[in-house]
Amino acid sequence: MSKELEKTYNPGEIEERLYQKWINKKYFHAEVNKKKKPFTIVIPPPNITGKLHMGHALDETMQDILIRFKRMQGYEALWLPGTDHASISTEVKVINQLKSEGIDKEELGREGFLKRTWEWKEEYGGTIVEQLKKLGSSCDWDRERFTLDEGCSKAVEEVFIKLYEKGLIYKGSRIINWCPVCKTSISDAEVEHEEQGGHFWHINYPIVGEEGKYVEIATTRPETLLGDTAVAVHPEDERYKDLIGKKVLLPIVNREIPVVADSYVDKEFGTGVVKITPAHDPNDFEVGRRHNLPEINVLNDDATINANGGKYEGLDRYEARKKIVSELEELGLLVKVEEHVHNVGTHDRCSTTVEPMIKQQWFVKMDELIKPAVEAVKSGEIKLIPERMEKTYFNWTDNIRDWCISRQLWWGHRIPAYYCDKCGEVVVAKESEKPETCPKCGHTSMTQDEDTLDTWFSSALWPFSTLGWPEKTEELEYFYPTNVLVTGYDIIFFWVIRMIFSGYEHMGQKPFDTVLFHGLVRDSQGRKMSKSLGNGIDPLEIIAKYGADALRFTLITGNAPGNDMRFYMERVEASRNFANKVWNASRFILMNLDKADTISFCPEKFDETEGFTEADKWILSKANSLVKEVTSNMEEYELGIAAQKIYDFIWEEFCDWYIEMVKPRLYNEEDNTKNAALWTLKHVLIDSLKLLHPYMPFITEEIFCNLQDEEESIMISNWPIYRERYNFTDDEQAVEMIKDAVKGIRNVRAELNVPPSKKATVIVVSEEEKIRSVFNSSCVFFATLGYASEVEVRADKAGIGEDAVSAVIPGATIYIPFAELVDISKEIERLEKEQTRLEGELKRVNGMLSNERFISKAPEAKINEERAKLEKYTNMMEQVTERLKNLKK
């Protein structure tokens, strides 16, 4: 039997209680169940250093909507959670903690530092997980994973050794991103490109053997000229054809370097001549390899100039820049300096400008590994939503470079490579099989590589390492490949593609069917939320004030795949108001159900012979169509479109129209259709709550469990299905016609300022018997909605006074006697007062505009303002005069 809801919806009171109930009941937990079809999502693992921000909130809400939807559809739905060890971020946090205690990382030693880091992880690393729970995330917390846990670590070791043995992992010198503050290589994902003001320094390089002749180059980093080993021109650039093969003298360093021809050079950009510094620019590095150029690194790890910089050795890179520019000016080789805004790569953790540098690092060879990832998207085996993301995807795969996977950090997966201290032989082996002696020279001292692996190396294995790989677990067999990956478009290159090629390489099949991309959550002005701007909005503060449901619904409504969205507090308030609307409508229905005979919500109970009216069939038909459309939208990942349809139906069709339509039947003890109305109210409310549940899980659960006893939780209830028997096209058309008539009546009354309390006769005139029949059968609720004292339905307008106001709908005209709407004597009195007021206003305005002093001295804006008033008052006067004339007839 139904129960009663609290008078006021209080999300703070219900959310924690309901979430704990779901946890206790194990509703989130998934098991291998061969009787069911699996549906799997693995969470993009948030960093253990992280706190919930709006990007997380959007990402997790989308995943939760999908998993709740599929769970209700009867799938064995697994949303597998976990966190990432976040090498650099975590190491920085722990180093700072140690510094505050006066402890140096190096003095503590590797083992001591790792012990402290694990302690930090245990104390602070679960913060974001608890925050995800506040959002209502229905993850299977029993299966929570961590990228450094035993199973994931075993998978990482297995993959490294397998790829090494296949020749796909190697150690070599290549250009990498280097952070001079953190003193480690970093991935492309950790480089943020931001626009910065800088300069283009134009420098003359003397041509060797041609006194007084130069080539002009332009650079944004003059200090790197210390490492130049060539200048390059385009092979088809007529201006420089005679220069190819000659040499120029490198200024300051006075080293002769060749002029090479390479199609990398853009003839149209700058002077068409570029300096080539292979050790400090990724493009120059490739040019250098093509032309066998020397690679001269001029920077130390802290971005000071090294011994290759000669007299500048020891200077910070920017100090060296100033001195080099000054010396070039003294030598007469500085042609000009231009202001230049360009994208500069900075480390996203410490905001330091990153230096491209040649370093001995471990790399993954990408040219063969990437091929299945390209083919998977081209063939449609993996679908990207929105489809336009394919262009970005292929742009990256087409320009793939070998992947630098080593990091100069202690926190992370240590590289399983061992070096002979005597002959330098390298042995790659599992920790359990680490070599005691060198297989080459027999020496008994072997040292493990100090570096750890890039965090992305372990998260690339996430879809299968979390399910037990490399062991052949039943979870892996059942839940893999997963179904959909939900992620922001900003990490398409770094994570998505790496998971795809890793899936094909190690599992022999795709890691997921679909990648659903979302955009960024921006502030109300369209700016990216950031600490520096101070425009971030804390999701937990929103939840505390408005509830998780309101935040979730706000993030999804109006949200299209791949598009950025602006976050407005007004929209959160609108979502909260929607929750209140649902709550209050449900309270109304519950209170009325208590007065009814026992009513089951089972759809099979419906029988059109048992007093179901056109209005009941209309809402049942509309709800039935909604089920079909929303299910289709959600299957196509159009979550924002589905949310808007649910919102529009509940607010407008169900609450504003149907509930108002049935109130006269509910309040009439003699009405024999009351039970049909109550059954319909309950049935449609239950289906509406189920459709809304993935978006607003808390409020829907609270209402559902108070509304019925047949199913123990909305979370594990059956998703509504479309039923052909509820397709009442004729009844839909009939009630839509009634609605049009009501809207017409309300518009007329609004124009005449008639309050809802003022009732009047409503006369429906139509020559069509079918239309008259519709209005006759709907008189009860039509009268209520149209503020009618009585309703007449007739075939002609005979006897209707000329003063009657009207509203026209297809096939019929609605008339209301004017005298019943308005007290004519009082209206004449009111209009005469308005006429007197307008006469005064017109006199004042005309007086000002005919005053030559005012026209000559007043600002133009003020004059235009008065002219606008004259036009407005003139129009108002014409309308009042016309109304008075008609009334006095």
Residues in the annotated binding site: 531
| Residue 342 phi, psi (nearest 5) | -145, 165
CA-nearest of 183, 850, 783, 741 to 451 is: 183
- Please confirm whether the linkage preceding 470 is cis (ω < 30° from 0): yes
Binding residue ranges for ATP? 531
642 CB neighbour count, 10 Å cutoff: 26
Cβ burial of 108 (10 Å; 0-12, 13-18, 19+) is middle
How far, in Å, CA of 213 to CA of 489, rounded?
A: 50
Structure token digits, residue 173: 């010198």
How far, in Å, CA of 714 to CA of 69, rounded?
A: 11
How far, in Å, CA of 384 to CA of 378, rounded?
A: 10
CA-nearest of 410, 403, 376, 411 to 513 is: 376
| Residue 533 phi, psi (nearest 5) | -85, -20
DSSP secondary structure string for all residues of 290-330: HTT------B-TTSBB-GGGGGGTT-BHHHHHHHHHHHHHH
How far, in Å, CA of 876 to CA of 869, rounded?
A: 10
Which whole-number Å values give the CA distances from 79 to 60, 307, 485, 504, 634, in the listed order? 10, 54, 11, 22, 17
3 state SS of 445 = coil
Cβ burial of 525 (10 Å; 0-12, 13-18, 19+) is exposed
| Residue 171 phi, psi (nearest 5) | -110, 130
3 state SS of 561 = coil
501 contacts 369 by C-beta, under 8 angstroms: yes
| Residue 39 phi, psi (nearest 5) | -135, 120
Beta-strand relationship, 482-488 and 512-518: parallel
DSSP secondary structure string for all residues of 138-203: ---GGG-EETTSHHHHHHHHHHHHHHHHTT-EEEEEEEEEEETTTTEEE-GGGEEEEEEEEEEEEE
Cβ burial of 407 (10 Å; 0-12, 13-18, 19+) is buried
What pairs with residue 170 in β-bridges?
A: 363
CA-nearest of 29, 138, 50, 133 to 548 is: 133
Q: Which long-range contacts (CB under 8 A, 24 or more apart) does 236-241 make?
A: 236/267, 237/265, 237/267, 237/272, 239/272, 240/215, 240/272, 240/273
How far, in Å, CA of 103 to CA of 274, rounded?
A: 47
| Residue 782 phi, psi (nearest 5) | -65, -40
How far, in Å, CA of 634 to CA of 695, rounded?
A: 11
Strand positions, DSSP E, 53-134 = 76-80, 82-83
Structure token digits, residue 399: 């320009």
